Structure formats: structure tokens, C-alpha cells
Amino acid sequence: MSYTIDRNEGAKILSCSTRTIDRYISAGKIRSKRIGKKVYLHDEDIRIIQNGGIQEDYIVLDSEGQVMVSHEDSTFTRRPVMVDYKQLFDDAQKSIERKDTLIQELSYRAGQAEAELKNSISMIEYKKATMLLESSKMHSEEEKKNLDKKIGEITMDLEQKNTTNIVLMILVSILFIVAVILWFFAL
């Protein structure tokens, strides 16, 4: 049981298209295995199909317009082509009626949703709320700018006071050292 034939080789061997190979795979007539990005086919399944092991049902029309249906034993039976156009028409009408009913129901639901939406909030109230929201947003931005400005001013004042305190501490320290030196010499 080996998978050595890829799709293209299988199509060449069976004299068919790769799409037909795909159909055989999806119908379970050929076992396949995906290795990486390639699909490999089972060698024995290809050999069976090549030797005519799988026969599909198909329809053949003869010259008189009679349908000849193939069977697995390869014998053909004749049956007249009888299309019931009335039944086809009735089925199509029923399908159209079901779809029309569905469309009407969906249109009704859409109308109800639209009415609920209109009744829930009027456009004037919506616009007012939107304008208030925008104005409060602008006001909060202005307040933020003012607060940032105040924070900057307070920070600068604090830095100046810290600098002043450091200078005063240095001066007091120097004066204290001078006073200690003078007292020491005065003794």
C-alpha cells in the first residue's frame, strides 16, 4: 500500500483532468494522502480505475431521443424522456411563494425595528446629546490645558524655592562655621 503517484501523474495515467481526480478523491474512489503541499494517490486505486474497475452511472441519449441509462453490469435500458413541466412549474411556484413570504416577513421585521428606533430617540435629542458631548469634551480639553499650565507654574515655583532653600542652607552653614572659628580664636 503505497502512495507514490501525485495528482498530475494520476491524471496523465487515467487520461483525465486533475479536477476529475479531485472528484474521485472526494467520492472515495481513490485514497489519497497529503504530504506537505502535494497530494499523493494510492497506486492500487489508480491501477483499478485504469483497468476499468470503477464504472459510474451515466446517461446516454440515442438518436430517437430515448434515454439509455447505464448500469454497473454495462447493459443499457431504454426509457423515454418524460419531463413533467407542470410539476416543475408547480415546484417553482411553491418555492417563489415561500421566498415571497420570507421577504414579506423580513420587511415587516425591518419596519418594526425602524419604528422602534425612531420612537426610542428623536433626532433632535440625539443631535443635542451629541453637541453636549462634544462641548463637554472640548471643555475638558481646555481644563486639562489650564491644569497642565498650573502644574508647570507650581513646578517652577517649587524648583525656585528649593534652590533658594539650598542657597540659604549653604549660607547658614558658612556663617555657623565662621562663628565657630571666631569663637575658637576668641578663647
Domain ranges for the chain: 1-51, 55-82, 84-120
Give me the tens of pLDDT residue by residue for the chain, a chain 187 residues long: 588 899 999 999 999 999 999 998 888 888 999 888 899 999 988 988 888 765 444 444 455 555 544 444 444 444 444 567 788 888 889 999 999 999 999 999 988 888 887 777 677 777 888 888 888 888 888 888 899 999 999 999 999 999 999 999 999 999 999 999 999 888 7
Residue keyed to cell 569663637: 183
CA distance 8 to 109: 53
For residue 66, what pLDDT is reported?
52
Task: Sort 48 into a burial class: Cβ within 10 Å, 0-12 / 13-18 / 19+.
Answer: middle
User: Which pLDDT does position 1 carry in this prediction?
Assistant: 55
Give the three cell numbers for residue 111: 419596519
pLDDT at 133: 86
The total number of residues written for the chain in this structure: 187
Pick the CATH number of 1-51 from 3.50.50.60, 1.10.1660.10, 1.20.120.80, 3.40.50.1820: 1.10.1660.10
pLDDT of residue 59: 47
User: Cα-flanking dihedrals φ and ψ of residue 72, to 5°?
Assistant: -65, -25
pTM of the model: 0.30
Burial of 102-139, coded b for 16+ CB within 10 Å and e otherwise, reads eeeeeeeeeeeeeeeeeeeeeeeeeeeeeeeeeeeeee
